[in-house]
Amino acid sequence: MTEPKAISELVRKNILELKPYSSARDDYSGSASVFLDANENPYNGPFNRYPDPQQTLLKQRIAGLKGLAMENIFLGNGSDEGIDILFRVLCEPGRDNVITVDPTYGMYAVCAEINGVERRSVLLNSDFSLEPDAVLAAVDEHTKLIFLCSPNNPTSNSLDHESVLKIIDGVNCMVMVDEAYIDFSQGPGFLSLLQEKPNLVLLQTLSKAWGLAGIRLGMLFAHSDLVGYISRVKYPYNINQLTIDAALRGLDDTARRRLWIKEILEERSNMAIQLESLPFVNEVYPSDANFLLIKVEDPSALYQFLMNKGIIIRDRSSVPLCGGCLRITIGSKEENRALINALKTFQQ
């Protein structure tokens, strides 16, 4: 087992030395009734006030829900902010590198590009399983971050737990596991390992199982030192009041979420059976997420056909290892029926 570096050794020098912006609401803590410190308009409450820069209430709720300390939580404007901010905190442009295991979520590559950071791509096996030794072989002394996604988008499978552990234990850099789809998965994920693995970063989101993609709330869970550096870099008021309010309301209704997940998983099984029975579908890959990846004879013809019927799916056929593949989100019963009915009229 490789001993991970202290987080301060992985953080960029300019970030270590950064004196963060201090907002009016950071300077003051306590109880007061007259706020004349932030040049706000006194009218039009509650939205006249700047939101809490630390999102304390929301973090407390999420901490309780996830069994974490607030110090282990960063909240971002979607998972995308969490991904981008890891580059900005850890990776020196032109010197450091990151590793992605492809095919996977496109934002890791886009953020690497934007931040001027080299990205090393390691392929999954052809059955979409993870090859830990191939990932370890791509690591060098300038590797700061490895991106894993489990369940993975667009391949829909979870990565083997032992293989992920082998990577976490085999490197001295950070390993991010994107668990956007964890609520649809059979496996437990990696949350319970966060305390004992200081180089593990987890990403979860309210965009999928919680049904709140519109409010943009991503959750990053990591060692408190890393969360501390990230918090210095983030925009002071990165989570707005409307999002905080809607998230608190949404998180209250765990029963509703459980019902949604149950329905989506049932529909996923039904859809897999129906899709498999279509003559032009060559494969329906096993899914641990809220979507199915299928392999068909002529993906672009099928994509066009469905689009003409007002049904939009995702053509992933140009992605490495995904030749012939289309990605289909599990919708409501009615939406899924509309898709299957349309597919039944498709002539090759």
Query: CA nearest 158: which of 169, 149, 168?
Result: 149
Tell me whether residue 103 or residue 218 sits nearer to ligand PLP (CB atom). 218
Tell me whether residue 12 or residue 208 sits nearer to ligand PLP (CB atom). 208
Residues 6+ away with beta carbon under 8 Å from 344: 278
| CB 205 to ligand PLP: min, Å | 3
State how far the Cα of 87 lies from the Cα of 144, in Å rounded to an integer. Answer: 9
Tell me whether residue 4 or residue 82 sits nearer to ligand PLP (CB atom). 82
- Near ligand PLP in 105-144, by CB under 6 A: 105
Return the amino acid letter for 182: I
Q: Contacting ligand PLP (CB under 6 A), which of 148, 180, 293, 328?
A: 180
Q: Contacting ligand PLP (CB under 6 A), which of 205, 238, 243, 317?
A: 205
Q: What is the x/- site pattern for ligand PLP, positions 64-103, by CB under 6 A? A: --------------xxx-----------------------
| CB 159 to ligand PLP: min, Å | 12
| CB 158 to ligand PLP: min, Å | 12
CA 197 to chain CA centroid, nearest Å: 19
Q: Residues touching ligand PLP: how many (CB under 6 A)?
A: 13
Tokens of 334: 């009615």
By the rule CB under 6 A, 291 interacts with ligand PLP: no
CA angle at 173 for the pair 72 and 125, rounded to the nearest 5° = 105
Please write down the long-range contacts of 102-105, taking CB distance under 8 Å and 24 or more positions apart: 102/319, 102/320, 102/321, 103/154, 103/155, 103/316, 103/319, 103/320, 103/321, 103/322, 104/147, 104/149, 104/152, 104/153, 104/154, 104/155, 105/149, 105/152, 105/153, 105/178, 105/180
| CB 152 to ligand PLP: min, Å | 7
Q: Contacting ligand PLP (CB under 6 A), which of 58, 101, 124, 149?
A: 149
Q: How far is CA 33 from CA 27, 36, 37, 240, 291, in A?
A: 16, 10, 12, 22, 49
Tell me whether residue 4 or residue 154 sits nearer to ligand PLP (CB atom). 154
Q: Contacting ligand PLP (CB under 6 A), which of 84, 96, 178, 288?
A: 178
**Which residues form the interface with ligand PLP (CB under 6 A)?**
78-80, 105, 149, 153, 178, 180, 205, 207-208, 213, 218
